[in-house]
Amino acid sequence: MTDQKLPENMKEKILREIREKHIAIKPKWQFVLKTILIIFILSIVAFYILFHTSFLFYSLHHNGSLFLPQFGMSGIKRLFWSFPWLWAIAGILLTVIFGIIIENKTRAYRFPLLYTVLAVIIVVTLTGVLCVILPIHTTLRKINAGAEIPIIGPLYNGLPENELFQTYIGEVSDLQKNSFTLINRNGQAETIYLEPQTDLPNDFQLENGVEVMIIGEEKAGCVEAEGIRALYGGYGQEIHERIHNNQ
Amino acid sequence: MAEPEKTDEQIVKEVIAGQVEAFGVLVQRYEDKLKRYGRRFLSSAEGIEDIAQEIFISVYQNLKSFDTGRRFSPWIYRIAHNAFVNTLKKRAHDPLPFFNPDVLFPHPITPERPDRDLERKEIRELLDKSLQKLPTKYREPLILFYLQELDYISIADIMHLPVSTVGVRISRGRNMLKKISNKSDYL
């Protein structure tokens, strides 16, 4: 058999298969359905990643993690130990999977992978920050407190009030020379001892009714304060409301 | 006066409209090209007849997913590329890397070289002799550019790579060929 006869053979073979209806053209609706399905899955995954990431930012804001760097290395160390690594790694994995789907199913392959990854990171981060600035999660948490939202409700229920490692947030009360009582966000009282080495900013006047964040070790049911910072602005107001409304 | 030859895209429209015999023209036009591409990409002629047939069957079955406003050749080559990559994976003696770092970073666009006819011919001869010594990731763009005579954009669409990466791979592949063949005067 010469090489020149092969094209005829293959042509005839394929045409015979077609005539005998062993192979057929797939209907257009199959491809349309596949495209719709891909867009649907991509939208769901994208929506979930945005929710996942913004919830991470919100939970860091909610429990005060974002204020820990104000304490310097001691705060950063506590932030490291308190950081929700599992949640963050899950978010990164989801983003990678999303990137792979995008690369395979769209024309994103025309751009260097670095651009695609940077674009995804920027969009996800900005959306996460935006969700903290706009009270989306705060509103959802409040709605959930009234009637549990399906699927995402347990996430808001699980937002702990005092989950940070050796860190305490609340309102100063019953201030004495060397101690005070801290009313935390659950309305519980904790005794805080002020030590000579307790780190307090020069311009900060400790007084009753001020919302503060404290780092320190708990010993025999009391906390020896290593550092104290006032929670001014929106977050301080939020803590104040949470203590007084007990939300 | 002879009628001008129908374009691939016109033939696809006819096949979709029910003139199935017209599909034979597409098979005739692409059979040799795809076999040549496959033989060189796979570094072997083993099973190439069956693989080519599978490619044409897949093309026929998926014709309605082809956008007739676009060019047909990158589309059929993309199907062929997938079939050959799957064959390489099955054979496993020419492992494909899971990730290529050259798709990560942007590269300056390497312009398509307007090689002289003689130079192109010489490169083709070199490719025939030394192609199998090149890694797969450089081999394929060189085959598509020099032997199948496709442009960078088509190759980028076939291999799902940025155009700049195609340019870099062709340029690096050509340099590798130069070293392998030890005939730098040719290039």
Place of tokens 């005839």: A12
Q: Which residues on adjacent β-strands are paired with residue A173?
A: A181
CATH topology of domain B101-182: Arc Repressor Mutant, subunit A (1.10.10)
Contact B162 A25 (CB under 8 A): no
- Is residue A7 assigned to a domain? no
CATH of the domain at A241: 2.40.50.320
Q: For residue A7, what are its two tokens? A: 């094209």
Q: Which long-range contacts (CB under 8 A, 24 or more apart) does B88-97 make?
A: B88/B41, B88/B42, B88/B136, B91/B42, B94/B42, B94/B43, B94/B136, B96/B136, B96/B137, B97/B137
Let me know: does A204 contact A175? Beta carbons within 8 Å: no
Residue A5 lies in a domain: no
Between chains, do A14 and B27 touch, taking CB under 8 Å as contact?
Answer: yes
Architecture (CATH level 2) of domain B8-90? Orthogonal Bundle (1.10)
Which of A192-201, B108-117, B171-180 ranks highest by mean pLDDT? A192-201
Cα dist from A198 to A69, A79, A165, A193, whole Å: 16, 19, 18, 9
Last residue within a domain, chosen from A157, A179, A202: A157
Owning domain of residue A105: 28-157
pLDDT tens figures, B147-168: 888 999 899 999 988 888 899 8
The answer to whether position A15 is within a domain reads no
- Tally of domains in chain A: 2
- Domain boundary assignment for chain B: 8-90, 101-182
For residues A234 and A184, state if they share a domain: yes
> What ipTM goes with this model?
0.76
Taking residues A151-180, report their average pLDDT. 83
Quick check: helix, strand or coil at residue A61? helix
Residue type, B106: P
pLDDT in tens, A67-110: 889 888 989 998 898 888 999 999 888 887 887 778 777 777 88
Phi first, then psi, for residue B71 (nearest 5°) are: -80, 140
Distance CA B54, CA B37 (A): 15
Model confidence pLDDT, tens digit, residues A31-81: 999 999 989 988 998 888 888 988 888 888 888 888 889 888 989 998 898
A residues 16..45 contacting B (CB < 8 A): 17-19, 23-28, 31
Contacts of B65 in chain A (CB under 8 A): 26, 31
- Name the residue among A206, A202, A162, A163 with its Cα closest to residue A186: A162
- Of A157, A184, A200, which residue is a domain's last? A157
In a domain, A22, yes or no: no
